[in-house]
Amino acid sequence: MRILSGIQPSGVLHIGNYFGMMQPAIALQAQGEAFYFIADYHALTSLRDPKALRENSRRVALDFLACGLDPERAALFRQSDVPQVTELAWILSTVAPMGLLERAHSYKDKIARGIASSAGLFNYPVLMAADILIYDSDAVPVGKDQKQHIEITRDLAVKMNETFGQIFKLPEPRIHTATEVVPGIDGQKMSKSYGNNIDIFGAEKETRKRVMSIVTDSTPVEAPKDLARSTIFELYSLFATKNEIAEMRERFQKGGTGYGDFKKELFEKLWLYFAPMRKRREEILADKSYIDNVLSRGAKRANEVADVVMKRVRAAVGL
């Protein structure tokens, strides 16, 4: 089984990135041949600073490796190190119905959030389809909010197969249901663009400050707290054991503990959880050539597969 996933280098990674994409991807690397790419082409739809893009791409590689990605099991590479993906995106765009792209939720959501409309943003699902299809991917781990992109990919693969013969296999989404949406400090989906993030490798003082800034209601200390609407409890449940979760649930329902105390417990649990990864991150930084070597090996493997697929595609379409 070949597994494919990608992450945008749009900024410093936060715990929403970790639980939404990185943790499930790392877990899957033991189940098949994994290809994980840093989506720098995609990032160009919103990031216009070349220095920041290069630095962010490198930081994503560093953080992914620190969090447990094993380069002996998974190929980690920059999307732009496989230029065949843009050729395939163009070929897919020649059969992509406009109506299919106009129905894409991500485009509408980004425009609604004030991101400038562009052809690149509109065609984002086509490039994502090329990312997936160019490696003959079998499984694509995504959050529930990304499922439509896999459906579009399958639609384009079927369209190509019907038009030019059997070229592509149809990838299957692997929906990570355990953590569909990680809430930010304001209760919305955690996102750098919302400014509600808690970074994976943030400084201790800043991380504590972010946790202590989590928005709560005005329930007094002595009263029971509403579990269903508590960002504190939802985040704590990501890091704690079943017994610890049950114990906090009981104290929420009983009353007598203030939100401030619950926030302190959340911070301690979060900080302890990422401690081994912070140590591994420092070890990687001490080896100046490690990241470059990993990305180079990953790109070599990705290009080997992409070349085979593109040879098949070119022959099928008449190039």
Half-sphere exposure of 256 (CA within 13 A, CB side): 6
33-38 and 74-78 strand pairing: parallel
Q: What are phi and psi of 77, to 5 degrees?
A: -155, 160
Give the dihedral sign, CA 294/23/55/276: negative
Is the CB of residue 156 less than 8 Å from the CB of residue 92?
Answer: yes
With 0-12 CB in 10 A as exposed, 13-18 as middle and 19+ as buried, what is 302? buried
Q: Between the CA atoms of 32, 126, 83 and 306, what dihedral angle is there, to the nearest 10 degrees?
A: 40
Give the dihedral sign, CA 126/129/131/136: negative
Contacts of residue 248, defined as CB under 8 A and 6 or more positions apart, other chains included, come to 233, 236, 240, 262, 265
Distance CA 253, CA 225 (A): 6
Q: Point out the residues that are catalytic.
A: 110, 189, 192
| Full strand arrangement of the beta sheet holding 33-38 | 74-78, 33-38, 2-7, 139-142, 172-175
Q: What share of the chain is helix, strand, coil (3-state, %, to 5)?
A: 60, 10, 30
